Structures are given as structure tokens and as C-alpha cells.
Chain A
Amino acid sequence: DAKTTQPPSMDCAEGRAANLPCNHSTISGNEYVYWYRQIHSQGPQYIIHGLKNNETNEMASLIITEDRKSSTLILPHATLRDTAVYYCIVRSFKAAGNKLTFGGGTRVLVKP
């Protein structure tokens, strides 16, 4: 699976949009972009995924660049409960031995 690069940490203000970048310049055509987050003392939680189109759900929006080499997760109105480590993962949908491979993630602190 392709490797991803994320900033190790970022702060954002409560009520404002949080934009989390992810670089995946070696992504291949059969790989999806996934985002998970992990709140302290809990297991990771699925947020959203996409292949090449932008996606939106009740939690977030995912913007993937046209060349697919980077993406941005947008939390439209960050709350204190969004404080967590956010993982950007690329994963093939057809490789044998398929698995989610987590990197270091971005530690997001939402401040009042």
C-alpha cells in the first residue's frame, strides 16, 4: 500500500472548520483514501473514504486532488469532542493480504 504523509499535530478553534492535509504521492489507481480517527482510550473510528471524487457524509468532507496525490479532510464545525488523532490511509481494494496500515497520524487539538 502507498505511504501517506501527515503533519504530526495541529490546533483548531472550536466552531471553525478544521482542514487536515494528507500527501499520498505514490498512490496507485486501485487504492482508496481512507480517514479514521482515534479518540483517547478508544479504538479507531471510521470517518470517510474516497477513490477520486470528493465525498461528504455526516461527519466530514473529503477533497481529493485531481491527480490523487493529496487529499484534505474537512471537519466543517470542529467541536471539543473532535480532539483526536486522525489517520489518513491508502488501501488497495484488490490486493491479496489486504489490510489497513496506520501511520503516525495527525494529533488534532480543538481549543475553545
Chain B
Amino acid sequence: DTGVSQNPRHKITKRGQNVTFRCDPISEHNRLYWYRQTLGQGPEFLTYFQNEAQLEKSRLLSDRFSAERPKGSFSTLEIQRTEQGDSAMYLCASSAGQGGFGGEKLFFGSGTQLSVL
């Protein structure tokens, strides 16, 4: 168990550029979540995968955001035409959920800190 890995740890970009973040979940974890966290706030849910299927997307996830999880392994989160308001910590979490959600434990990565200039 090497934990949830996120890359890069930090990303600085100019407004209007596209960025992509990667998340490698704990091996054999079938659920993967993306959250966003701004300074002083708790994490906010963005989207969730069960294996390769994206089952829910928050209204926070505008059409500039897209997430994929090909083959149910790693996941990528892409932001197109970045805006200054996209500056935040992007967190990934995985879990070994089976069936229901009772007692599900999420394991979070350390996040990717995005700064849009």
C-alpha cells in the first residue's frame, strides 16, 4: 500500500492555458473521487468514478473540466482555458468500496496545488 499518488504537487499556469493532473489510486481500489479545496474551506466534491464509469459530477464541474479514468486505474483531471478562480488544491481519493457505501473509508492523496496567474 503506497497510498494515493498525485502529480504534479504544484502547478503554476497562466490564465487561458490548459492543465492536466494525474491521480494514481491505491492498487485495486475501485472507487476514485476528485475534490477541490480553496484556502480556509473544506474540500468540495467534484466527481466520482466506480471503476472506469463516471457516476456523478458536481455542478462545480463546469464544461471546462473533464475527468477520465481509463481502464479503471489512474485518473486524470483536465481544466481547459483556466481562470484565476480555478486556483485551488485538487485532491484525489480512492476507496475499496464494494456495493453499498456503509463504512467506506476514503484515502486521500496530498493534492495538486494549482495557481493561475
Task: Decide if A99 touches B91 in the complex (CB within 8 Å).
Answer: no
User: How many of chain B's residues have a CB under 8 angstroms from any CB in A?
Assistant: 25
Task: Decide if A97 touches B56 in the complex (CB within 8 Å).
Answer: yes
Task: Decide if A44 touches B101 in the complex (CB within 8 Å).
Answer: no
Task: Kindly list chain A residues whose C-beta atoms are within 8 Å of the C-beta of B41.
Answer: 104
Q: Which of B61-69, B70-78, B80-88, B104-112 contacts A (4 or more CB under 8 A)?
A: B104-112
Task: Decide if A99 touches B33 in the complex (CB within 8 Å).
Answer: yes
Task: Decide if A102 touches B103 in the complex (CB within 8 Å).
Answer: no
Q: Taking the nearest CB of chain B, how far is it from the CB of A27, in angstroms?
A: 14
Task: Decide if B91 touches A43 in the complex (CB within 8 Å).
Answer: yes
Q: Taking the nearest CB of chain A, how far is it from the CB of B45, in angstroms?
A: 5
Query: In whole angstroms, how far apart are the Cα atoms of A97 and B110 in the complex?
Result: 24
Q: For chain A residues 70-112, which have a beta carbon within 8 Å of chain B?
A: 85, 87, 91-95, 97-105
Query: In whole angstroms, how far apart are the Cα atoms of A32 and B107 in the complex?
Result: 17
Task: Decide if B45 touches A100 in the complex (CB within 8 Å).
Answer: yes
Q: From A44, A49, A95, A101, name the one whose CB has the most chain B CB atoms within 10 angstroms.
A: A44
Given known contacts A32-B102, A93-B101, is B45 in contact with A45 (CB within 8 Å)? no
Task: Decide if B101 touches A91 in the complex (CB within 8 Å).
Answer: yes
Task: Decide if B110 touches A99 in the complex (CB within 8 Å).
Answer: no
Task: Kindly list chain A residues whose C-beta atoms are within 8 Å of the C-beta of B44.
Answer: 102
Beyond A42-B108, A95-B101, 12 additional pairs, beta carbon < 8 A: A42-B110, A43-B4, A43-B91, A43-B108, A49-B103, A98-B101, A99-B33, A99-B45, A101-B45, A102-B35, A102-B44, A103-B42
Task: Decide if B108 touches A44 in the complex (CB within 8 Å).
Answer: yes
